[in-house]
Amino acid sequence: MAQPRILILGAPGAGKGTQSAKITEEFNVEHVTTGDALRSNKEMDISEMDTEYDTPGEYMDQGELVPDEVVNAIVDEALSQAGGFVLDGYPRNLEQAEELEDMTDLDIVLMLDVSEEELVHRLTGRRMDPETGDIYHVEYNPPEDDEVEERLVQRDDDDEETVRERLGVYRENTEPVIEHYEEQGVLERVDGEQAPDEVWEAVKKTIEDAA
């Protein structure tokens, strides 16, 4: 498998972004992430689409899903330009899973399993370097450089109330997607509650074994 087409699934905070960065480097594939794409377009005017809110940011800041029509177009465009990829943040409901089937085939579907208590702890402690986009955690993975530490920011949707809302949205909309891939017999589960390097060893091995 020269350039694998990988889907990475998991709850908010499961480590999809952290592991995707490593997959991108190791397997020379593109990171296609709806969360980052939408954060770069938070103020985009989507009022013509007859949506409840006028911009993606209004959905995101409340922990709700951005309408399918907006997200499907972003993913379709990104995948049409990618060879191999790791897709992170999509599909988040069964309608999106159906759309994805029309867009591309997948070689591997990975699922990072993490308990809810740990997810809340990871998300409320997450910080990002606005200059590099690198992800840190105040306790698990603080930056070594004081200058970097001073400029870290918290994502708008990482306060505890919004985190709990996002986890509720995940349970309701995205767990059926996990069941869908499980029923198809293609889901590869990885214990995402281990230390990041141990998760990475398991993720890497799963991808290599599927090749």
Residue 143 CB, nearest distance to ligand AP5 (Å)? 11
Token readout for 195 is 């230390």
Q: Is the peptide bond before 91 cis (omega within 30 degrees of 0)?
A: yes
Asked whether position 51 contacts ligand AP5 by CB under 6 A, the answer is no
**Is 180 a binder of ligand AP5 (CB under 6 A)?**
no
Q: Residue of minimal CB distance from ligand AP5? A: 35
Name the residue among 134, 117, 123, 116 with its Cα closest to residue 36.
Answer: 134
Distance CA 52, CA 47 (A): 8
Strand partners, 31: 86
For residue 135, state whether it binds ligand AP5 (rule: CB under 6 A).
yes
> Residue from 4, 5, 6, 34 that binds ligand AP5 (CB under 6 A)?
34
Give the one residue of 5, 7, 9, 15 binding ligand AP5; rule: CB under 6 A: 15
φ/ψ of residue 187, rounded to 5:
-80, 125
**DSSP conformation class of 67:** P
Supply the residues annotated as catalytic: 16, 92, 126, 155, 166
Per CB under 6 A, residues contacting ligand AP5 are 10, 12-18, 34-35, 38, 59-60, 63-66, 71, 89-90, 92, 96, 122-123, 126, 135-137, 140-141, 157, 166, 195-196, 199
